[in-house]
Amino acid sequence: MQEIKTDRVVIVGAGLGALYAALKLAPTPVVMISPEPLGEGASSAWAQGGVAAAMADQDSPESHAEDTLSAGAGTVDADVARMVTREARDHILDLTTLGTPFDRTEDGGYVLSREAAHSYARVVRVKGDQAGAEIMAALIEEVRETPSIQVLEGTMAVSLDTEGGAVTGVAITQSDADCSVSIMLRGSAYLLAGGGSGGLYALTTNPHRIRGQVIGMAARAGAVIADAEFVQFHPTAMDVGEDPAPLATEALRGEGATLINEDGERFMLSVHPDAELAPRDIVARAVFAQHQAGNRPMLDTREAIGAEIIDLFPSVAEYCARNGIDPVRQPIPVAPAAHYHMGGIATDAEGRASLGNLWVCGEASSTGLHGSNRLASNGLLEALVYARICAEGIKVQRVETQAAEINMDFKGTAKAPEADDVTRLRSTMSNNVGVIRDAKGLAEALNTLQEIEANAQSESLLNMCATATLVAACAFVREESRGAHARSDFPDPMPGPGKRSKMTLSEARAIRARVTAKTEDPL
């Protein structure tokens, strides 16, 4: 394999965490590995709700932290929650300085939306449902003008090289195919900021490349993975047959939109005191139950928002238009879809992974902020806070201020990922490791994943199998229901405080082997 050595910090990913970290590292030279042109293919750009921050006079970081702890159902790291919510305001002001056009009131304040499980309206938004795209646009413009940042668009990281428990390189291929020949890029330090795992499921709101690749490559290198079983299903993905599924942002419910079934029943009223603004896991399970009963759940914006939806929520209006839905006169069909992975590569308070010389931020990480159920709009906030923390930690050790630009010359035959196996994996995860789980389905999933992994030829599929195996194995051994992890055979949470899970891929494979052996020979 060809090797390239550089004094640059290598950042895997091109979403909000990656861009913000690259800017905070300046003037330390960095190189970003971006599968798509900047601004495309990253979950951050698709985020509709906004960034949660206590900006109102009556609100406080302490209240924000309490809501985060409550939503997380017993597995949130309280110290992390207090730190992140305390820093939120500063990051909103920083993004404003960088040019993010947040919605403002006539007196210059920030327009704030209330979303599920928040005690106050504290979600800072842009043009209603354009927060992710607009924040990304502001950061990309700044990145393009920063000479210390080099972006390798059209490249994708597929594996990590290690020595003595520390990362020493990252293998890069062209992103338009899984090349049989890759380049080993050896930098001064490594930051993984390449997204989550929603695309491991057949029904997801995530861009098509967000399929657990970054978590999987770290797991294959030996990194500890935390809270893998906690996958958040957004309750109001639009049920229109698209892959990925368009998202009907939670801010719609914050503005008063209601959930009804085909009989016109507002079913959340009997489920939770907060009705449509209950924690996401509760709403997702209620919508799922309506689906299972054949009652066709829908989001009704007609009375609460009416014709204003066109201007207030342009993305939702566009999604409706292309699917022949008039939200001013018709309710929007919805279904739960894999949306955000609370689990990921375990990090400490400084954003460090268990492998040396490796930092992680954004959805690929598991910092302890989200627990078993992420509080709405805390995802972008966490990416911002830990991008800065990681950048500061890297700068303590890496003080290079000059590095030549990298020239990549890929040579070799391209090999596409195994499409049929990818489809089989995604269907398996949706059918057996989805909104409601049980031992039988999880065992079937582990058995199928073992078969797919045994025949996998591409690095991409091996990374997907690694992350999927960790999700299923952790879900199998957590014999309780907690937050987004719901077991029909263990419907109640275990008594006492919740415990975070931590597991390596070798441990997950050992569980898979035991479960598979019992499935094949039940006697």
Nearest alpha carbon to residue 229 among 343, 340, 339: 343
Residue 415 has pLDDT above 70, yes or no: no
Give the highest mean pLDDT range of 52-66, 272-286, 397-411.
Answer: 52-66
The residue with greater pLDDT, 130 or 278, is 278
Give the tens place of pLDDT for each residue, 188-211: 999 999 999 999 999 999 988 899
Least confident range from 176-190, 253-267, 495-509: namely 176-190
Give the DSSP H or E segment for 344.
strand 344-346
* CB neighbour list of residue 72: distance below 8 Å, 6 or more residues apart: 81, 370, 371, 372, 373, 374, 375, 483
HSE-CB for 193 with a 13 A CA cutoff: 36
pLDDT band at 49 (very low <50, low <70, confident <90, very high): confident
> All domains of the chain, ordered by start, with CATH?
2-153+357-397 (3.50.50.60), 235-336 (3.90.700.10)
**How confident is the model over 354-376, as a mean pLDDT?**
96
pLDDT digits (tens, 9 = 90+) for 420-459: 999 999 999 999 999 999 999 999 999 999 999 999 999 9
- Which pLDDT band holds residue 411 (cuts at 50, 70, 90)? low
- Alpha-carbon separation of residue 178 from 74, 338, 412 (angstroms): 40, 25, 11
Span of 169-183, 280-294, 385-399, 407-421 with lowest mean pLDDT: 407-421
Q: Provide the greatest CA pair distance for the chain.
A: 72
Burial class from Cβ neighbours inside 10 Å (0-12, 13-18, 19+) for residue 116 reads: buried
pLDDT at residue 24 greater than cutoff 90: yes
Q: Among 151-155, 476-480, 485-489, name the one with the lowest average pLDDT.
A: 151-155
- Residue 523: what pLDDT? 45
pLDDT computed for residue 116 by the predictor? 82
Tokens of 424: 């089989």
Compute the average pLDDT of residues 92-120. 92
* The pLDDT of residue 475 is above 70: yes
Q: How far lies 420's CA from each of 159, 445, 483, in Å?
A: 22, 16, 32
pLDDT of residue 44: 75
- The distance in angstroms from the start CA to the end CA of the chain is 47
Q: What is the structure's pLDDT at 127?
A: 81
Cα–Cα dist 155/182, whole Å: 10
Which of 19-33, 334-348, 412-426, 508-522 bottoms out in mean pLDDT, i.e. has the lowest? 412-426
pLDDT of 436 reads 97
Residue 76's φ and ψ, nearest 5 degrees, are -80, 140
pLDDT of residue 496: 85
pLDDT more than 70, % of the chain: 96
- Asked if residue 348 has pLDDT above 60, the reply is yes
Kindly list the catalytic residues: 280
pLDDT band of residue 521 (cuts 50, 70, 90) is low
Site of tokens 């409601």: 436
Q: How far apart are the C-alpha atoms of 375 and 369, rounded to whole Å?
A: 9
Strand partners, 259: 299
Backbone angles phi, psi at 477, to 5 degrees: -85, -15
Mean pLDDT of the chain: 93
Residue 133 has pLDDT above 90, yes or no: no
